[in-house]
Structure 1
């Protein structure tokens, strides 16, 4: 199967929900709130998609970056039926290519996904902190 990874603008909440909803990331996102999903897509300044030959979204990387120092990867998802084909690694490589060598990519991995990120070359640290949101839906 041929997969094309590219930076994209105009991703719709419906496509995002269809993709992320078929991944392990789905239960951690407010997929029932289309307006909120579209708002966080629209306010992300780096969206990279992985599409199959038919144009179906099979994976995505959604990040926020200053383009010179750091990029926070808020979402990295590959639909379960397309996992194991190197799509996640290709999305991360495409993000690194677009961002350039001076920009670090950071993320918080879902429990159990740490091995994947180590496998594709990310460095793990135990110094991550966050303040939980109060608005959950």
Structure 2
């Protein structure tokens, strides 16, 4: 029986993930294009104030994916970052990170994710439902 490639990776909670490792996987996933990777204070704050930070690592310990979520653990979970190294995409790593993030935050919560433009076709493929009424206020200079 063939092995499931997604099971070749270890998914673990890493609330103390370093900013350097986080930025590195953001760059290798292309998510860095939409994240403040050159603002060390902002990246550090994003990690420090997340409720759930999960990583996907190879058996050798290489970081190949990360999910970062904000949740109240009762009603909603916002999966703010889902980054998988492009060399490891298509192996189920993203799907497992989503599943485990939802499990940690509580399956009774609604998991919410804003897709990167290039990933819009991926989420329906793994069973996520598109929602048509998201509204945002862009950040302003401080």
Which band: TM-score by shorter chain?
over 0.9
TM (norm. structure 1) is 0.93
Give the number of equivalent residue pairs. Answer: 136
Query: Is 2:57–2:65's contact at 8 Å kept on the other side of the alignment?
Result: yes
Q: Compared with structure 1, are the counterparts of its residues 85 and 71 closer, same or farther at alpha carbon in structure 2 (3 Å cutoff)? A: same
> After TM superposition, where is structure 1 displaced by more than 4 Å over at least 4 residues in a row?
none
Q: Could you give the per-residue CA deviations for residues 76-131 of structure 1, whole angstroms, max 9, x where no partner exists? A: 01011111111000101111222232111101111131211111111101111100
- Give the alignment of 1:94-105 within 5 angstroms: 94-105=100-111
2:20 is aligned to 14
From 68, 74, 83, give the equivalent of 2:80.
Answer: 74
2:50 is aligned to 44
Unaligned runs of 5+ in 1: none
2:10 is aligned to 4
Unaligned runs of 5+ in 2: none
Query: Is 2:77–2:102's contact at 8 Å kept on the other side of the alignment?
Result: no
